[in-house]
Structure 1
Amino acid sequence: MVKYLAMKKISKNIAHLRHLRGISQEALASDLNITRSRLSSWEEHRAEPPIDLIVQLADYFTVSIDSLLKIDLTKVNDLRDLLKIGGNRILFPVMVDSDGKDLVELVPIRASAGYLQGFSDETFIESLPRISLPFTDVGKFRGFPIQGDSMPPLESGAYVIGKYVEDVADIKDGKTYVVLTQNDGLVYKRLYNKIEQDGTIHLHSDNKAYYPYQIKPEEVFELWSFVCSLNPTDSPISDLVYNAIQNIQADVVQLRQSRLD
């Protein structure tokens, strides 16, 4: 069932990306060195492209393989909505409210542990509660819960609103970021760009009881620069955060189960 849904999405995505590029089936088939009838069978979901051509399609349209397989790209009308991450691109559809203001997605505390598995899952991201804040400019914003005491004066329960950073090379020394990595999941640290010096990024806690450590740039899945922090005990922010968290549609376990059913 999961494989069927993935291949059904890729069929729609190939046709949609081709239309966005304004190219014909003949032209795309020629560029891929395949027949038009073979391409047509993929778009009409009569056949499945092999893995080598899925990789070739991802490179051709400059999207990640993950996005090509898992995300419904028909929701995107402008390829500028695809933000670069590493050598490929990953989809970040920008959500707006009725007034056209960008909405900030909040990762609830109970869902933050599953963020590493869900960050590239459109169902997981779509389930996140959203709030509107007046000071967010153009870009992609997300709110992350702070846990622990490594970054005072922020305490557990506070939220950091971050703006998505496309390239780890853009890290500014001494600025704070939310970082997603395989080994540590979500962390909020003060970063130092030492890629040119020793090939690593240095992560420091403001609480000196915690030792700094290093990671390689390729370990970074997502990077969000600090915009502001929200203390849930401060009104009216508390009401916004509380209500948003209460309205979350499902947690990670429920999402995974529903996709397998």
Structure 2
Amino acid sequence: MSLLSDNMRFLRARMGLSQQAVADELIITRGRYAKYEDGMSEPPIELLLKISRFYKVSIDLLVSVDIRRVPLDELQQLPDNRILLPIVVDTEGRNRIEIIPHKARMGYLSGYSDPEYIESLQHISLPFLSHAKYRAFPATGDSMPPHTEGSFIIGKYVSSRADLRVGKTYVFLTRQEGISYKRLGEIKAHGLVLHSDNPFYKPFEVEYADLLEIWEFACSIATRESDPDDLPAQTIKEMLVALRKDIQALQK
């Protein structure tokens, strides 16, 4: 059996339909449809699209995830229903925050849509955060001071691009960059312009088609004590500019 066959059987039973009724809607024979549910064959892409539209579930979900493990009623209300896929709701109502480890940050790109992977992550609880879905992402590099290597950014899940605000910072998961913590600089028709707070890094644009998840900054956790000698790049740049002006003044 495949996930697709299991999902088709589950969705049909959920709607209370017979195989013949679904086959009629898809304009195929019942025997052909039964082979897909039994995992004996797989539908061609044009038929897979019809199945996806009929059940109102994206192809991403149909072929890669056990749909019985996700909140399908809420998911089907979203325009791109796979975006709700990684959200695991704590049935006891606790504020559960999954932690993406530094060493495994690239693994999140392939596991973000797998509920079993998300459930396997370690988690914490922060009582001062409001009721929402949060996740902890590792900060890397020096592009977003004062968040240094080893810190964690706690992000609040953003379910709609309409909730994005220019000037705020977000964790973006994209197919090309993986996990990126940036400031939203501009919202365009086909994508977003992202900025680093460190001016040494140039802004770049991410197309909507490349976006997988967006998490709004909620708070951060520093895992090491700040070092007074660990100056941010902007401070060093300002010191060099000031030093150059002093040298120029002495040469006059």
Give TM-score, length-normalised by structure 2.
Answer: 0.76
Whether the aligned pair in 2 keeps the contact of 1:102 and 1:132 (CA below 8 Å) is yes
1:55 matched to which residue of 2?
49
- Is 1:43 the equivalent of 2:37? yes
2:143 matched to which residue of 1?
150
- Is 1:184 the equivalent of 2:166? no
1:109 to 102, 111, 124: 102
Unaligned runs of 5+ residues in structure 2 are 226-252
1:200 matched to which residue of 2?
191
Shift of 1:147: 0.8
**1:60 partner amino acid:** F
Structure 1 residues 113, 46: closer, same or farther in 2, change over 3 A? closer
Question: Once the two structures are superposed, what CA deviation does each residue of 1:213-260 show, in whole Å capped at 9, x if it has no partner?
Answer: 2222222122111122122359xxxxxxxxxxxxxxxxxxxxxxxxxx
Q: How far apart in 1 are the matches of 2:83 and 2:173? A: 17
**2:61 partner amino acid:** S
Q: How far apart in 2 are the matches of 1:148 and 1:33? A: 54
Whether the aligned pair in 2 keeps the contact of 1:141 and 1:162 (CA below 8 Å) is yes
* Count of paired positions: 225
2:28 matched to which residue of 1?
34
Compare relative contact order (CA 8 Å, sep 6+) and give the higher one, 1 or 2: 1
Q: Of the two, which has the highest radius of gyration? A: 2
Q: How far apart in 1 are the matches of 2:166 and 2:16? A: 42
Shift of 1:144: 0.4
Q: How far apart in 1 are the matches of 2:87 and 2:139? A: 25
Question: Once the two structures are superposed, what CA deviation does each residue of 1:128-154 show, in whole Å capped at 9, x if it has no partner?
Answer: 222233245454322100011211222
**In terms of mean alpha carbon deviation, does 60-69 or 180-189 score higher?**
60-69
1:124 matched to which residue of 2?
117
1:72 matched to which residue of 2?
66
2:249 matched to which residue of 1?
none
**1:200 partner amino acid:** G
Structure 1 residues 23, 175: closer, same or farther in 2, change over 3 A? farther
Q: How far apart in 2 are the matches of 1:215 and 1:71? A: 26
What RMSD in Å do the two structures reach over aligned CA positions?
2.7
Whether the aligned pair in 1 keeps the contact of 2:192 and 2:207 (CA below 8 Å) is yes
1:246 matched to which residue of 2?
none
Unaligned runs of 5+ residues in structure 1 are 1-6, 235-261
Alignment of 1:237-248 (within 5 A): none
Q: How far apart in 2 are the matches of 1:131 and 1:181? A: 25
- Is 1:228 the equivalent of 2:219? yes
Q: How far apart in 1 are the matches of 2:83 and 2:19? A: 23
Shift of 1:64: 2.6
Give TM-score, length-normalised by structure 1.
Answer: 0.74
Q: How far apart in 1 are the matches of 2:194 and 2:223? A: 26
